[in-house]
Amino acid sequence: MKYGLSLMLILLAGPAFASDPACDLLYQGRYEDARATALAADTVEGLNAAAEVMAAEIMLMRVENSKDHAKAAIKLANRALKRDPGNVEALFLRALHTGFRTRSSSAFAIVMKGLIGDTYAAIEAFEAAAPNDPRADALYGAWHLGIVRAAGDGKFGASLSEGLAHYDRAVAAMPADIVVMGNYAFSLIVLDDPSLLPRATALLQQIDATSPDGATEEETRARMLSLLAVIDDPDALRERSEGLLNSEEIDGK
């Protein structure tokens, strides 16, 4: 079963770590090498770096089991937090991967295990540690729009208007961030609401005018421009966007 929370959370660009050479390897798109290098460092920064690489692997569909990958990354973030309580990047990565875990779970598991609330609580913890970090707005925006798509406006405390407001603030603060803009545009497209299409189109056009910074942004940009190419063909747009959604693994465990 494909559950509609697939875009609840997103990978946010601009590496959440400064661990060379792992950072350089991620920038080049050498994800496995970057993860291994980061883990070998056995530091808080290395744990964060590995979790960031794993987020890229999940978002770009380079793993067989997204849920297990996300759960492993959550453990890395928690290890970092055990060594450095309150570490902002570890809190961000825990929130990010909690969302990835949620989107890769069945509807039954999401409800029974309280994953929607867990995701929101993880975002709140990150925001409390970094109240001026625009990534929190992007995370909240994705949370709201993912639930609206899955269950409807007003369900589980989610709101279309709040989701749009959060995402708009994130894009305003990070106007060159292709990953954030791309996930916002994609979230709007899969809502399948014609009134939101002009906003999505403007975001895709902004992506088209932005140079990618690293392999993750380059691949994200290519996917988003494939949507822009069919933006005026509703059937083709729906088919292409659903194809991206359906590529996520759902095992229901």
Domains annotated for the chain, with CATH where assigned, are 22-246 (1.25.40)
Cα–Cα distance, 166 to 123 (Å, whole number) = 13
Q: How far apart are CA 72 and CA 217, in angstroms?
A: 24
Q: Is the confidence at residue 2, as pLDDT, over 50?
A: no
Average pLDDT of the residues in 102-110: 83
In this prediction, residue 21 carries a pLDDT of 84
* Residue 13 confidence class, pLDDT cut points 50, 70, 90: very low
Mean pLDDT for 136-153 is: 93
Q: Mean pLDDT over residues 4-23, rounded?
A: 52
Looking up tokens 């056009």 gives 205
pLDDT (mean) for 66-75: 96
The closest alpha carbon to 53, from 5, 45, 81, belongs to 45
Please give the share of the chain, as a percent, with pLDDT higher than 90. Answer: 74
H/E segment holding residue 64: none
Q: Sign of the C-alpha dihedral, residues 136, 89, 156, 239?
A: positive
| Tokens coding 161 | 């208007």
A 10 A CB-CB count for 211 gives 9
Q: For residues 114 and 104, which has the higher predicted lDDT (pLDDT)?
A: 114
> What is the rounded CA–CA span in Å between residue 8 and residue 102?
8
The CA distance from 164 to 46, in Å, is 34
| Region 189-214 average pLDDT | 97
Indicate whether 247 pLDDT > 70. Answer: no
Local confidence band at 1 (pLDDT 50, 70, 90 cut-offs):
very low
pLDDT of residue 9 exceeding 80, the answer is no
Local confidence band at 251 (pLDDT 50, 70, 90 cut-offs): very low
The mean per-residue pLDDT over the stretch 132-153 comes to: 94
Inter-residue contact 1 to 107 (CB < 8 Å):
yes
Q: Lowest-confidence range among 18-27, 73-82, 156-165? A: 18-27
Give the pLDDT confidence score for residue 180 in this predicted structure. 94
Cβ-Cβ contacts under 8 Å for 49 (sequence gap 6 or more): 15, 16, 17, 19, 22, 23, 26, 34, 38, 41
